[in-house]
Amino acid sequence: MNVITPHGAASLTPLIATGQRLADLEAESATLPSITVSSAAAANAVMLGAGYFTPLKGYMNRADALSVATDLKTTDDLFWPVPVLNMVERFDGNVGDRIALRDPNVDGAPVIAVMDVTGIECLSDDDMTLMTREVFGTNDPNHPGVATFNAQGQVLLSGPIEVLNYSYFQSDFPSTFRTAMEIRDEIESRGWKRVVAFQTRNPMHRAHEELCRMAMSDLNADGILIHMLLGKLKAGDIPADVRDDSIRTMVDHYFPENTVMVTGYGFDMLYAGPREAVLHAVFRQNAGCTELIVGRDHAGVGDYYGGFDAQTIFDERVPKGALEIDIYRADHTAYSKKLDRVVMMKDAPDHSKEDFVLLSGTAVREMLGQGIAPPPEFSRPEVAKILMDYYQSLDQ
């Protein structure tokens, strides 16, 4: 039996339909009025279906959305860090309608969920400004998460859903996409009790690899869940299939057997920094993990967040007891030339900047694009090869 319970419930509450219920819904959905939702709303449906958003039953209404944005809780006092919404540009139906939601990310826009519409509300510009500022910490339209959030429309449809499928995630990433239920089952089958989650939307360099080892050692954990985002990213980020290949290669070469699970989840990146870090904690708790590594600028982008804002939010905005999962706080990690190993920089006060192998993301991308492997202290050669092939393919 797993040692950590899901968030806000005794057991997971996945909204995925199976068996006869799925067949009935598929037949019914063909007779229902339908709308094509945003990629963000489709990703929310996937997360609701896969149990990661336990104990939610569907999309939030305006009151819950504003309450979550400002106070990190629903009007029923459920702790929740980010509004889970279905915003559209227009809707011609009525409260009480039952509608099919179509997936914008799959050819032919098949039905991804069936929704009972319990609310239709027009969000004001002030509502949008408030939610944007609270969730993303900025209203700057150049912030990729802000731009995506505000492009969906301001008609808010709320109500419970039943999910028919996991969009493109199961077919495109069959060996990596896993539901919260599947991860819990595998943790149990491996006999793990203490499990540390590592969130990533990027390939893992030596510093990330060692950070997982440090956390596992410090916490005396049984295993690491490397849990990668498989959904939409901003322009310039490395695609999920390349990232998947590089992470699996690193684990196969450099971690002992039965210490790492490589998995992924179907969600679009918000780039919401601290708020997204708390959301990451919620769905890692639902997946059965006991700790989440929160590093420097976790889920951040650009210079919108302070280096450790994603850690301090757990002290300042997460009430005691609101989450069962604990946070493993990581500093910037880098390879020390003096010590000949990766260290947390805060643990090496006698070092100067020159004592570390430090490379900017831009510098690494330029090297890889030119077919030059970063130094082995920065990136494993097997991983560098995969990334070099990818970046050089962009120039073909």
Q: Catalytic residues, which ones? A: 201-202
CB-based contacts of 184-188 (< 8 A; 24+ apart in sequence): 184/2, 184/12, 184/287, 184/288, 186/261, 187/2, 187/223, 187/225, 187/261, 187/288, 187/289, 188/1, 188/2, 188/288
Report the distance separating Cα 69 and Cα 67, nearest Å: 5
169 φ/ψ angles, rounded to the nearest 5 degrees: -70, -40
Report the distance separating Cα 286 and Cα 351, nearest Å: 40
**Residue-wise over 135-161: b if at least 16 C-beta within 10 A, else e?**
bbbbeeeebbbbebbbebbbebbbbbb
Could you give the angle at which helices 381-394 and 240-254 cross, rounded to 10 degrees?
Answer: 160
Angle at alpha carbon of residue 182, lines to 177 and 188, rounded to 5°: 135
